[in-house]
Chains A and B, each alone.
Chain A
Amino acid sequence: MNKTRFTKSIVLIVMLAISLVVVVACSTKPMDKKEHTSLDWKIPNDIKTPKVINTKTLQKAFDEFSWESFIALNWPANKNGTPDKKKIIGQKDAKTVWEHWLHTTDIFLPDGGMPVAWGGTINTADYCTNSPKTLDKIKSLGRGEKISDFLVLATEPMDTGPLIDLNGQYVQYEINLNKNMYDYIKDNELYNVEGQQQFAAENNVVNFDSGTNATADFPGKVGAIVVKAAWKVLGKNDDPSRFHTVNALIWSNPAEKGDGSCRVENVGLVGFHIAHKTESAPQWAWSTFEQVDNAPETSELPCDDTYNFHNCSCSDCPVNKMAEQPWNPDKSGQTPTQVTRVVPITKETREMNAYYQAQLRQVNPDTPWQYYMLISTQWPTKPGDPVSFQNPDPKGSPAPMVLSNTTLETFTQGVVPQIGTSCTDCHFSATNSEGQWTDFTYTLGMASKKTKKGEQ
């Protein structure tokens, strides 16, 4: 080989190498945020009103609102809980915006005292009976400035009974409120029974803020939001890459026959409710999401896939039946709950799910967020004043008439409202500890009476 040919070969190899590096770099480069117009960190204030108004177009508008909310709430957060605008959801599984919101346990303290400051957290040592040494070790597992998520509910939020996964583990729940709702509760001292009594004695009626779209004169605002999340302990046969995961501190709640101890588990998100009060939905917009592997639809049986809460090889397992009492999250050898989805997801919602899942996959083909799906959004078809006795339909005739999440309303799924789950129908009856209207939230009923410690 002469020198010229040798040099040419070297140049060719170098050029090829550079091309390869460029190709690899381009393929791994995070997608520009502008390429994902439907992936935004902004929580939508309200629906985008469709040009043609009918049931179908409004359902679509509310479903889009749900997906946009899901994406914004699960956006990677900065340490202070604000969305990290430099990142895109899906690039890496990270702590999300809503996970920085306060838990109901941070707000409605057992002593009726002032809630934890926004951005703070309760002292879990007050709850966990484990030795402080053990807790110190647990703290070291925490992410960022905050210790692990603290899960305190092992029976479903509605107390209908525990959901037990195929590994015999209880699903764990949490309820978190956004700052708007937190401020309203704190400012009006609705975090204890005495404050609620005083509020009512002054002829006040609970009325949380409504999300409002921007206009020429108004910048727009997010309304009160409640998130309910269901988590499963990841174990045998679970693929963690298909879940948004956190290391959670699970409290064995004595009120649920637990022993008061805490343990750390890696848990995966399996169910997610978003309730947002908006101007177009004074009865609130109720969005619910699930991890795609939860359970088959009843019409899909017999099945041969792998699910989180359904064993396809057990054709005679009783379906959607509660575990036998006594319920105890610490009991070993639990019988798994055999779950099916009673009300199918509509074709339109499936199509929308496919669209958003593809968007998330485009950001990162391995993102766990591609494994979540919207079940539906319940919204009022007659969005009048829910409080007025002069409104003949204060519930607002919600559509769809029923809506369930297999991990949050497992045992109350059905097709007839008030027998089967309807978010609006159920939450319309919500009251505080004194039986007064609480604007569709049961959380105010968690308030305790003030003790001497709480007065300090």
Chain B
Amino acid sequence: MTTSIQTFVTLSAALTGISKNVLAPTVTNLDLPTTYFDAAKQKFPADFDLLLSAFQALIDSGKSAEDAVATIMENDTYAPVAQQINFLWYMGGWAVVTDFGTQTQNLSAITYQKGMVWQVMQSHPMGYSVSRYGYWGQEPAPLNDYIGNGE
């Protein structure tokens, strides 16, 4: 993982509240950090790099990732990009404001399936489930099993 992607993952974990190990596991069937990093870079060619640099500078100054994110969210340039990155992790696509409200422009069918919103709901997307027959009659696993314990 490159330094930039590591910064992106630290930023993403602080934005989403989901463990870095869940967002970027060592063993995985889909390299979502790279997919989302590349997509964000393409969508925000100038501001994305600035956001990462600003976030890293705050970390280097001794701030925690959470405090660094709080500062970022007060900045009019960085906050919209950070919000989109947060939305990307949760929904697997970009937030698009239309006359009918905010809609999701998914990167792909797979990123739709991989949206963290389903993990937080302890559920699954429509049309794709990892659970076996009869799961709806059972208690789901604890939330931390889905999103990690903040590590």
CA of A419 to CA of B125, assembled, Å = 14
A51 CB to nearest chain B CB (Å): 14
Contact with A along B121-151 (1 / 0, CB 8 A): 0100001101111110011110001100000
B139: A residues at CB distance < 8 A: 389-390
CA of A55 to CA of B95, assembled, Å = 31
Contact A394 B25 (CB under 8 A): no
**Is B7 located at the chain interface by the 8 A CB criterion?**
no
CA of A375 to CA of B29, assembled, Å = 17
B44 CB to nearest chain A CB (Å): 27
Query: Which secondary structure dominates where chain A touches chain B?
Result: loop
CB within 8 Å: A-B pair count: 69
Name the interface size band of chain A.
Answer: 20 to 34
Contact B130 A394 (CB under 8 A): yes
Contact B140 A399 (CB under 8 A): no
Segment touching B, from A78-86, A116-124, A331-339, A428-436 = A428-436
Contact A390 B141 (CB under 8 A): yes
CB nearest neighbor in A for B132: A394
Out of B25, B110, B141, which one reaches A401, CB within 8 Å?
B110
B122: A residues at CB distance < 8 A: 392
Contact B133 A401 (CB under 8 A): no
Contact A401 B135 (CB under 8 A): no
Q: A389-B139, A392-B140, A417-B113 are in contact. Are A400 and B26 (CB under 8 A)?
A: no
Contact B145 A392 (CB under 8 A): yes
**Is A393 located at the chain interface by the 8 A CB criterion?**
yes
Q: A392-B122, A392-B145 are in contact. Are A55 and B27 (CB under 8 A)?
A: yes
List chain A positions with a Cβ less than 8 A from chain B: 53-55, 58, 381-382, 386-387, 389-395, 397-401, 415-419, 428-429, 431, 435, 437
Closest 9 CB pairs of A and B: A399-B29, A389-B138, A392-B141, A416-B109, A395-B130, A392-B145, A392-B146, A381-B27, A390-B141
What are 21 A-B contacts with C-beta separation under 8 Å? A53-B27, A55-B26, A381-B25, A382-B27, A386-B132, A389-B141, A390-B145, A391-B141, A392-B130, A392-B140, A392-B141, A394-B130, A397-B29, A397-B130, A398-B29, A400-B29, A415-B110, A416-B110, A419-B109, A428-B132, A437-B132
